[in-house]
């Protein structure tokens, strides 16, 4: 059995601990208001936050984070399960060779004209160069298609077939010194004051863990505990450490794996708990829910790890927190594509309340550093292990563009199948009476916005979107008329 793990945290240290143990988690940031969560829990118990122990506080926050992501996961799962319509699969590589050769010739001519047009374009921030396209231009190719029920995605996602369980883990850490609890200091002044107080002393680090079986709702919560002894630090050492910025956003104002490691003289207890997530404790929790720890192993060598950077820069970013399923595939079409399990995105449309006709669609202005940077397409990305194409598209469109699953209806899909790689476009309508407010959630986009449907062809479109837009527009209009 394969079990997918979702980590309700953006902590690089927690991800690194899991990755080193063979578990590449899906990262879903919980966005929990931690002070409010603690106040609400304290009020429910009839006490103040200060009266709650460190163990109670980290347990409360770990649960709050895990359940926030669980609720988000349920919304995606519900929207995917409620999808209607057909999945149309196109097989462009099966088209006649002569037609394909003609299309490639047309693509070459199009590339030359696009480059010439770009040279005369006053919008110098747009790098629409079809020579850098990661998807072949199949315009002019008569693509054979097959039609399936929209829920028949499993035959195209080998990882989805074997993954029938999803676990969500939330964590929170807090440091106890001289009877006082310390979280993240956030400011240099507070960090310096705390570190000066910690110098030469021993404190206790508590890390709360909450693990949820997403499909059954069963929950296990546990807390790890470790004693940490600090070296005596001079004022100069404290100043230099604070200037690194490392202690500002970590519980207790120190890290074991970074600059702070040299000032930690001893640890009694679980060292992984000091890093933010206890592997022995998590393994026990996984077993408590009826799974085996090796079921979570999914590590594969990822190439070119780089963090996303400034979307208005043409410089390719240097680091990135990769998700399961991320990575380049040498496609049967002769190009490299992103996504070991394929990729998917959402084409979201808004309709007129009176006529029901499509008036706008959500479009993404792609970061310059991305493939065909500066062009317009739809928000989407690599499908994670264990996801269907619909689930992957919904998750990615929320992470990138704030397209909220509870506010849309999935009404159809189109999959371009290249054999060993696929891209699925999920068609969706904004629900009547609901409002989706798209915005750029990360740095993969320069802009996300509603675009009048008649204006879409006027944009500098991604190669595949430019090719498919006429048929996509026709299908949206047809779906709208049916509803």
Chain-centre distance of CA 125, in angstroms?
Answer: 26
Q: Which of 172, 213, 409, 443 is catalytic?
A: 172
Q: Which two tokens stand for residue 333?
A: 């079409």
Helix (H, G, I), strand (E, B) or coil at 17: helix
Burial of 258 (0-12, 13-18, 19+ CB in 10 A): middle
**228 closest CA partner among 185, 183, 177:** 177
List the Cα angle 298/301/307 in 5-degree steps.
Answer: 100
Check: CB of residue 480 under 8 Å from CB of residue 356: yes
Chain-centre distance of CA 91, in angstroms?
Answer: 28
Query: Tens of pLDDT along the chain (483 residues)?
Result: 689 999 999 888 899 899 989 999 999 988 899 999 999 999 999 999 999 999 999 999 999 999 999 999 999 999 999 999 999 999 999 884 445 455 455 455 444 444 333 333 333 333 333 344 456 778 888 899 999 999 885 555 554 444 568 999 999 999 898 888 888 888 999 999 989 998 999 999 999 999 999 989 999 999 999 999 999 999 999 999 999 998 888 877 788 878 888 898 999 988 888 889 999 999 999 999 999 999 999 875 443 343 344 555 544 444 445 678 888 888 888 888 888 889 999 999 999 999 999 999 999 999 988 878 899 999 999 998 878 999 999 999 998 999 999 999 999 999 999 989 999 999 999 999 999 999 998 888 899 999 999 999 999 999 999 999 999 999 999 999 998
For this structure, is 172 an active site residue?
A: yes
In 128-253, which ranges are continuous DSSP H helix? 158-162, 188-198, 235-243
**401 closest CA partner among 368, 362, 375:** 362
């Amino acid at each position: 059995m394969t079990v997918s793990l979702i980590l309700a945290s953006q902590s690089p240290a927690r991800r690194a601990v899991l990755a080193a143990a063979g578990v590449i988690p899906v990262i879903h940031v919980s966005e929990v208001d931690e002070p409010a969560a603690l106040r609400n829990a304290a009020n429910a118990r009839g006490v103040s936050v200060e009266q709650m122990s460190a163990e109670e506080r980290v347990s409360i926050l770990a649960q709050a984070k895990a359940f926030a992501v669980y609720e988000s996961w349920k919304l995606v799962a519900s929207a995917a399960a409620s999808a209607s319509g057909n999945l149309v699969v196109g097989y462009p590589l099966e088209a006649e060779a002569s037609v394909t050769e003609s299309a490639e010739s047309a693509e070459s001519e199009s590339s030359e004209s696009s480059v010439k047009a770009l040279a005369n374009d006053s919008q110098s921030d747009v790098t629409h160069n079809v020579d850098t396209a990661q998807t072949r231009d199949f315009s002019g190719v008569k693509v054979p298609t097959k039609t399936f029920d929209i829920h028949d995605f499993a035959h195209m996602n080998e990882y989805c077939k074997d993954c029938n369980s999803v676990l969500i883990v939330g964590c929170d850490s807090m440091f106890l010194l001289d009877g006082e609890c310390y979280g993240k200091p956030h400011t240099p002044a507070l960090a310096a004051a705390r570190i000066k107080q910690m110098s030469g002393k021993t404190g206790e680090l508590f890390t709360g863990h909450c693990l949820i079986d997403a499909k059954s709702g069963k929950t296990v919560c546990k807390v790890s505990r470790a004693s940490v002894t600090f070296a005596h630090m001079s004022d100069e050492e404290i100043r230099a450490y604070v200037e690194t910025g490392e202690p500002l956003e970590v519980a207790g104002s120190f890290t074991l794996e970074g600059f702070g490691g040299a000032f930690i003289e001893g640890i009694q207890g679980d060292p992984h708990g000091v890093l933010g997530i206890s592997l022995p404790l998590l393994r026990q929790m996984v077993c408590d829910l009826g799974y085996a720890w090796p079921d979570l192993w999914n590590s594969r060598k990822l190439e070119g790890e780089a963090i996303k950077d400034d979307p208005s820069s043409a410089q390719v970013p240097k680091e990135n927190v990769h998700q399961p399923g991320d990575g380049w595939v040498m496609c049967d079409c002769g190009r490299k594509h992103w996504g070991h399990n394929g990729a998917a995105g959402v084409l979201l449309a808004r309709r007129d309340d009176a006529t029901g006709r499509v008036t706008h669609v959500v479009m993404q202005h792609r970061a310059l550093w991305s493939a065909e940077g500066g062009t317009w397409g739809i928000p989407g990305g690599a499908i994670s292990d264990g996801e269907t194409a619909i689930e992957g598209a919904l998750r990615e469109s929320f992470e990138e563009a704030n397209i909220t699953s509870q506010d849309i209806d999935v009404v159809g899909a189109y999959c371009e199948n290249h054999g060993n790689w696929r891209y699925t476009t999920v068609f969706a309508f904004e629900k009547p009476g609901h409002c989706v407010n798209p915005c750029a959630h990360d740095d993969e986009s320069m802009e996300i916005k509603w675009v009048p449907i008649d204006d879409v062809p006027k944009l500098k479109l991604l190669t595949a979107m430019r090719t498919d837009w006429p048929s996509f527009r026709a299908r949206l209009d047809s779906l709208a008329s049916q509803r």
